[in-house]
Structure 1
Amino acid sequence: MSGVWQTDITYIQLTNHRWAYLATVLDPEKRKVLGYKIGNTRTAELATSALQMALDNHQKPLIVHSDMGSQYTSAEFNTKGQNYGLKREEVYLKAYETLTQVQAAIGWYINFYNRNRISNVA
C-alpha cells in the first residue's frame, strides 16, 4: 500500500460563462495525478470516477484525503472507498463522548500522520 492520496475538484470557466469541472486524485509523495475525470457537473459520480481510475491503475493507499464537499461525503464515494478497504479518517470512525477522548484520538492521529508522510520541508 502507498501512503496518502489527495482529491480535489477544480473549476474551469468556459468562454460562454459556463463551467467545466476537473476531479483529480493526486499522490503528493510522487507528485503525480493518478486519476482524473472531467465533466460539466460537480457530482459524486465525477469524484468517484477519478478515484476509480486511480484504484484501477495504482496500488491502493492507506488514506484518501478530501475536503468535506458533498461529492466526497456522498454514499457513492464512500461505498467505493469501502469496497476497496479504504477507511475514513480518524474523526469519522468513532463517536466521541468527551473532549478528553477527542484530544487523545486526534493527538494520536496527528502523530501518526506526521510520521508517515514525506514533508516538502527540507
Structure 2
Amino acid sequence: MTASPNTPADQARALLADLEGQRRREEQAFRAGFEAGYRDGWEIGYAHAHHEMAAEWEALAAKVRAMTEVATVNAREALDESAARGEPCAAACGRCSRCARAAAVARRGGDYLGERAHRGAA
C-alpha cells in the first residue's frame, strides 16, 4: 500500500521544507503591520498636537489682544498720577511694581523725580 500524497506526514514534511519561507513571510507581515501602525499612530498624534497647539495659540492671541488695547492718553496720565501720589494697586498686594512704587513714595514723602536720592551717611 502506497502512502497518499496528502497524508498528515506529507503535509508535515511540506511545512518543514518551507519553514524558512514561512519565517520570511511572517517577518514581512510583521514589518508591514508595524510600519502601518507606526505611520497611523504618528498621523493621529500629529493631528492631536496640531489641534492642541491651535487652541493654545488662540488663547494666547486673545490674551495678547486684551493686553495690547491702547489706553487713551488721559487714562495713562491718570494711572501715572495715581502712581506718583503713591497709590498702590487695587488689590494692594504689596508685591507688584505699583505697590513697590507706592511704598517708595511713602518712604520718601513724594515721587522720585530724577534727582539724586539723599541718603544718610554710609
Q: Do the structures match in fold with TM over 0.5?
A: no
Alignment TM class, shorter chain as reference: under 0.3
Q: Which has the higher contact order (CA 8 A, sep 6+)?
A: 1
Identify the structure with the greater helix proportion: 2
Identify the structure with the greater strand proportion: 1
Q: Normalising by structure 1, what TM-score?
A: 0.18
